[in-house]
Chain A
Amino acid sequence: MSQVVIQKSETEAPKQKKGIKNYLSKFGPLIGLVILTTILTFLSDKFLTMNNLMNIARQSSINALLGIGMLLPILTAGIDLSVGSILAVSIMIMGIVSVNMGMSPILGIIVCLAVGAGFGLLNGLLLTKLRLPHPFISTLGTMNIARGIALIVTAAAPIAGFPYLIQFLGREFAGPIPVSFILVIAVYIIFHIFLTRTQTGRYIYAIGGNKEAARLSGINVDRVLAIVYTISGLMAGLAGLVMVGRVNSAFPLAGLSYELDAIAAVIIGGASFFGGVGTVWGTLIGAMIIAVLRNGLNLLNVSSDFQMTVIGAVIIAAVYIDVLRQRKSKKG
């Protein structure tokens, strides 16, 4: 008979694995951004200039706002395909209110955000009240409805000549820094607090992690989902506001297929498509990676067709890393 002497009857609590692999999966997107920046700095002397960096900050802001909105549905293992169209319908109706009808710009801004949030709420209700089987379907429907309305309201005509107050966010600079970028940072800080420190925020992760366990833990899943899609729509409205400032006009095809860039930002930023995993800062880095890539390829005079190819490859690579990570955490 073999007898083993046991030194300690209690196993000491191990610390979570802090290997290099763990860092890679945690800071992968950030490392990607740093590598990308370094390469571009060597390839183009125009890249690492204050002017160009601020340009990137400005260019990334619309996608960053849509991306942070998109993070919420994806965290709940859902998706929001309608944000690009919601952006368009929000700014078209804002244009009608504050340009065509000449009402106050403040009212215009409120209308813009309210239309965005309203369509978002519609998404949420379609999902939770009509019990459509998956948000892919409800938001696909809304995507077409919203785009259609954006086209109908002015018979497809663009609206130009917005008052300064409406253009402020998208156009102004505070010193060298674009106001839109300051807005992005502020929004991200608020979202960070929302997702990590509020009840609803934590519930979003719980629902994405295990919807049934969340429900049986007393979480009102339908209410949280409605909030999630409403916020996503609201962010589409806000992104629209920034866009109007940038181009000083609203047109019904604005934001076409922007939802895809937003999804890409979230996924490149390390969020899991299966829900429950993802962070605000990851999404910001995801949005920056896309913006840096576009900007860098422009500086290098790469044609826009080829840019699409590169960005497609980056999305696949990023998701592949996610797949590897999932596989690792399942197998141990």
Chain B
Amino acid sequence: MFKHAGSLLEMKGITKSFGENHVLKGIDLEVRAGEIHVLLGENGAGKSTLIKILTGAYQMDAGEIFWEGQRVELNTPVDAMQLGIATIYQELNVIPELKVYENIFLGRELKRSGKMSLLNHNAMKEEAQRCLEMLGQSPALADQQLGKLGVGQQQLVEIAKALTLDAKLIIMDEPTSSLSTKEVEQLYSCVEQLREKGIAIVFISHRLEEIRRLGDRITILRDGFKIDTLPVKTTETDYWIELMVGRSLEEKFPKQSFILGDEGFRVEDLKVDRASEPVSFSARYGEIVGISGLVGAGRTELARAIFGADSNGGGKIFIDNQEVKITSPCDAIKSGIAFITEDRKSEGLLLDQPLDFNIAMANMKKFKSKSKLIDLNAIRVTAKEYIKELKVRPGNIDLNARNLSGGNQQKVVIAKWLCTKAKVFIFDEPTRGIDVGAKVEVYRLMNQLVESGAIVLMISSDLPEILGMCDRVLVMSEGKITADMGIEEASQERIMKAATGG
């Protein structure tokens, strides 16, 4: 392993408040060259805020930052960049129309010497190829149009960009949350290669297995305090969880089984678009049906077609054995279907509106009083109940959604749909980006939903979650359902086999 020369970065006593919300309360963090340093903490613990201070996006209220032993001020993102701190954001900052190497050198293009200051495409291409090779990628990638690549490769391009900037520290905030299994593997090996080269990585993740696999040291945050920094190899995962949530978690999957009712939901020969294969399946009341498959297998497309979010290529949908016509989300909601989308920011939230409005949005009709006016107080009361039930923090319904941490935003989206009291709930990757404790809360909620007689369809790429919570598993591959098995016959291997079309 890399021999630690000394600390590359030291943050001491970092404090930050947003108004009366004290988010960071004197955090210390030490990162060494050539280590993968994981930040772990519940949703809203302050992880993203801490790294935003490090990248110069936010200003701290108190504290000191040392870089290679020197005290530094990070007032703008440029300051951080010049020191050699690079960040891979979840929302990628790329221009799809440009080529990969053009993206890498965007804003600091290499010029030919001479008066015309023409661009030196060859030099840029070569440098980009060199960095891509360092990440184990084919150099030919440099010449491709960026928009044609998958999310995972686009992310690698961002990392290559960091390398051309001579970054010594690369920060990754939940980098794997929207990648397919294959892309995730690629990212892991790339991160490991960076470590070999002596680059430090700060890695934020809620996925405990990947922390175990990649991390060298782990710093645990809780409610804005640093609890501890531990070596990954010699400590138990359960101990991390205990430090992180302040108590031990009894079970990761609180599965309860209920007596199944009638077949309440059936899809017959639904075509996602005209060219695609027809899909049929059904689900019974009291059942949690998992929809597994690789990213890109067409699971979200199927859900959107059922929900009327995109026009479909024909097919029938039955609720309680009655055919329902769904041509818009509006129809779907009227028929009792709820769809908790995967991308909360672009499809779920009104970022500049308070939480109560966000929660009531899909459900305004229910809050009309006799006078036809909206009963604002009833909205507040209901919103408060859900906020409390889902443990959204901070639990202030007047806060705008933008000001919540990623995981808490996800909970608000879930609250919005619970509020519709639908019969069929389609969850698309419901636990992506939320912490272990909150995951259990979401699972409990699903239990409650099926107990009260609803149907839950859960699209998930997380196999343990599928195996742990579902009664039945559908596996999709290339737009078709390739397996439909009861949970007792399901296993990781069988699901993977069906998912890869075997």
Contacts and interface: CB of A to CB of B under 8 A. Distances in A.
A218 B333 contact: yes
B18 A202 contact: no
B402 A329 contact: yes
Interface string B207-239: 000000000000000111111100000000000
Contacts of B307: 216
A72 interface: no
B340 to A, nearest CB: 10
A217 B373 contact: no
B246 A9 contact: yes
A16 B309 CA distance: 35
Contact of B357 (A2, A6, A9, A202): A202
A16 B396 contact: yes
Interface in B27-64: 28, 44, 57-58
Contacts of B400: 329
B350 interface: yes
Given A277-B352, A331-B57, A13 B395 contact: yes
B18 A197 contact: no
B374 to A, nearest CB: 5
B425 interface: no
A147 B399 CA distance: 45
Interface in A1-28: 1-4, 6, 8-19
Contacts of A220: 328, 330
B460 interface: no
Interface stretch (A53-61, A179-187, A206-214): A206-214
Given A11-B393, A14-B21, A218 B330 contact: yes
A284 to B, nearest CB: 21
- Most chain B Cβ neighbours within 10 Å, of A4, A209, A217, A332: A217
A17 B349 contact: no
Contacts of B222: 6
Given A4-B227, A202-B364, A206-B350, A216 B396 contact: no
B403 interface: yes
B346 interface: yes
Contacts of B393: 10-11, 13
Contact of A15 (B22, B57, B368, B396): B396
B332 interface: yes
Contacts of B352: 209, 276-277, 329
Contacts of A299: none
A49 interface: no
A197 B374 contact: yes
Interface string A309-332: 000000000000000000001111
B346 A213 contact: yes
Nearest to B353: A209
A95 B21 CA distance: 61
A11 B22 CA distance: 9
Contact of A198 (B19, B361, B374): B374
Nearest to B365: A199
A192 to B, nearest CB: 12
B330 A4 contact: no
Contacts of A203: 364
Nearest to B20: A14
Contact of B373 (A17, A198, A219): A198
Contact of B223 (A9, A17, A196): A9
Interface in A191-242: 193, 196-199, 201-203, 205-206, 209-210, 212-220
Interface in A159-176: none
B298 interface: no
A216 B373 contact: no
A330 B352 CA distance: 10
A329 to B, nearest CB: 7
Q: Which of B18, B58, B364 has the most CB of A within 10 A?
A: B364
A196 B357 CA distance: 11
Among the interface residues A10, A203, A210, which one has the most CB atoms of the partner chain B within 10 A?
A210
B399 A16 contact: yes
A14 B228 contact: no
Contacts of B44: 11
A209 B353 CA distance: 8
Contacts of B398: 15-16
Contact of A18 (B19, B360, B374): B19
Contacts of B333: 217-218
A115 B279 CA distance: 50
B406 interface: no
A10 B388 CA distance: 12
A238 B399 CA distance: 38
B339 interface: yes
B350 A193 contact: no
A219 B58 CA distance: 36
A332 B329 contact: no
B347 A212 contact: yes
A8 B223 CA distance: 9
Given A16-B396, A18-B19, A218 B228 contact: no
Interface string B338-355: 010100001111111100
A209 B396 CA distance: 20
B57 to A, nearest CB: 7
A332 B399 CA distance: 13
Contacts of B357: 202, 205-206
A206 B361 contact: yes
B351 to A, nearest CB: 7
Given A17-B20, A19-B19, A276-B353, A3 B227 contact: yes
Contacts of B341: 216
A205 B394 CA distance: 24
A276 B362 CA distance: 16
A198 B367 CA distance: 10
Contacts of A214: 350, 361
A218 B332 CA distance: 8
Contacts of B28: 2
Given A17-B18, A205-B357, A217 B374 contact: no
B118 interface: no
Given A201-B374, A209-B351, A218-B333, 16 more contacts: A3-B227, A4-B227, A14-B18, A16-B396, A16-B398, A199-B368, A199-B374, A210-B350, A210-B351, A212-B346, A216-B347, A218-B330, A219-B361, A276-B352, A329-B352, A329-B400
The 9 closest A-B pairs by CB, nearest first: A17-B19, A209-B350, A14-B21, A218-B333, A217-B362, A14-B20, A13-B396, A197-B373, A199-B364
19 contacts: A9-B223, A11-B393, A12-B394, A13-B393, A15-B19, A16-B396, A19-B19, A198-B372, A199-B365, A199-B368, A201-B374, A212-B347, A215-B329, A216-B329, A216-B341, A218-B328, A218-B330, A329-B402, A332-B403
